[in-house]
A and B are shown apart, each in its own frame.
Chain A
Amino acid sequence: MINKFVASPAAALADVPDGATVMIHGFGNAGMPSALINALIEQGARELTIVNNNAGNADTGLAALIAAKRVRKILCSFPRQSDSWHFDKAYRAGEIELELVPQGTLAERIRAAGAGIGAFYTPTAFGTKLAEGKETRRIGDRDYVLEYPIYADYALIKADRADRWGNLTYRMSARNFGPIMAAAAKISVVQVRETVELGELDPEHIVTPGIFVKRVVKH
């Protein structure tokens, strides 16, 4: 019998090694898997590479992970915010490496990893600093930049409901990076508000099918 339910966030993240690449879902607070991030801080893995749209807000979640000095590198589109003080401090102190990626390119690089795409050409950022040193190509009458997938060892996701096969639904704009990060990571770990019996989720409404999900924790 397939059962992806795991007892606790700690049990779901016990095997994260030092140096892992971890995608963290969420856009601001919407979709941020706080219980999983807290468990990752407790777990103690270091030298992590983190993929998120931002670089942490205020003092909790990803910001707390950065404050605990567990993050070696971050890939994101928008690190600088009014309340990104933990990232700002670590960045200015040279303690954290930043790979700045345009938001749509970030999403597509994550999508490409989950979809088995080796690389893709995007018009975004052509002729800008963020394309410096990258391969470019003119296709038809437009110029494109070659971009590679972002693979991850783990994805930490917050969804709304899940069944024991790992089928997921989300809530409102908290869907954001969930479906593409779930597919891009070797081990996707999902924190959900509610677990339900198999068959309770309408197959027409399942957003992330369970094939992309390894572990589910109710929290």
Chain B
Amino acid sequence: MKKLDRKQMAARVARDIPEGAYVNLGIGLPTLVADFLPKGREIILHSENGILGVGPKPAPGMEDDDLMNAGKEPVTLLTGGAYFHHADSFAMIRGRHLDFAILGAFQVSVAGDLANWHTGGADAIPAVGGAMDLAVGAKKVLVMMEHLTKNGESKIVERCSYPLTGARCVDRIYTDLAVIDVKADGLHVVDTVEGLSFEELQRLTGVPLKRLATAA
């Protein structure tokens, strides 16, 4: 079995984003997806701070303090892009106008509950940003995360032990081992990395998985 590295995970997610989609990429791992979007497709990236049509990083020396993404990194604007204020930006999110939100996660539950904002630690300073709005607002919520914690525990769980970002909001999980759909009747495995059997994935995951029906 060969686990996907971070770039391969980003490429795997990018493959599934269709022409014309409006997409918000969360901070961290999801941001990498931008580099792998298929060249032939027009896909419009949204940034919470008020940008549609986020372009690539500017060339060195061309950064502009007034043009940042939600992670506060300098970006550019594609031809056809637009700026707007924060309430409009979150109307796009909450009002179900975004096709996809791609988010990192600490844990996802069998029911599609998402935990990605707070470890719940007593000394941790909580910060939420736009995660809760994206979780409830995007038409499809895609999660990208490693399948297992550093201690080898499954991050796909029966119930999240970390504080929730949103309840029953995740549609699909992309990990370094598999792609899994969250449906009303449980978790359906869409594909697995080369050399990983369904049985082995099931053993590592610890919550019940279903094989995707071929007709689905």
| Chain A interface residues (CB < 8 Å from chain B) | 27-31, 53, 77-81, 88, 91-92, 98, 100-108, 110-111, 122-130, 170-180, 207
Contacts and interface: CB of A to CB of B under 8 A. Distances in A.
B164 interface: yes
B80 interface: no
B83 interface: yes
A81 B90 CA distance: 22
Q: Which 9 A-B pairs have the closest CB atoms?
A: A104-B90, A104-B133, A127-B167, A107-B86, A103-B130, A28-B72, A111-B87, A174-B66, A80-B127
A123 B77 contact: no
Contacts of B186: none
Interface string B36-78: 0000000000011111000000000000111110001000010
A94 to B, nearest CB: 13
Interface of B: 47-51, 64-68, 72, 77, 83-87, 89-90, 93-94, 118, 123-133, 136-137, 163-167
Nearest to B54: A173
Contact of A123 (B47, B64, B136, B163): B136
A80 B126 contact: yes
A153 B126 CA distance: 27
Contacts of A27: 49-50, 68, 72, 86
Contact of A173 (B68, B163, B167): B68
B202 to A, nearest CB: 28
A77 B87 contact: no
B134 to A, nearest CB: 8
A106 B94 CA distance: 13
Contact of B167 (A81, A126, A180): A126
Contacts of B90: 103-104, 107-108
Contacts of B89: 104, 107
30 contacts: A27-B50, A28-B72, A30-B65, A31-B66, A53-B86, A81-B127, A98-B125, A102-B130, A102-B131, A102-B133, A103-B86, A104-B93, A105-B133, A107-B87, A107-B90, A122-B94, A123-B136, A124-B94, A124-B137, A172-B66, A173-B47, A173-B49, A173-B66, A176-B49, A176-B50, A176-B85, A177-B85, A179-B87, A180-B85, A180-B86
A172 B129 contact: no
Contacts of A127: 164, 166-167
Contacts of B167: 126-128
A100 B126 contact: yes
A84 to B, nearest CB: 8
- Chain A CB within 10 A, most for which of B51, B133, B166: B133
B87 A108 contact: yes
Contacts of A128: 132, 163-167
A188 B180 CA distance: 49
Given A77-B129, A102-B131, 5 more contacts: A29-B68, A103-B90, A107-B90, A128-B163, A129-B118
Contact of B86 (A81, A172, A177): A177
Contacts of A29: 65, 68, 72
Contacts of B66: 30-31, 171-174
Nearest to A178: B85
- Chain A CB within 10 A, most for which of B77, B127, B128, B164: B128
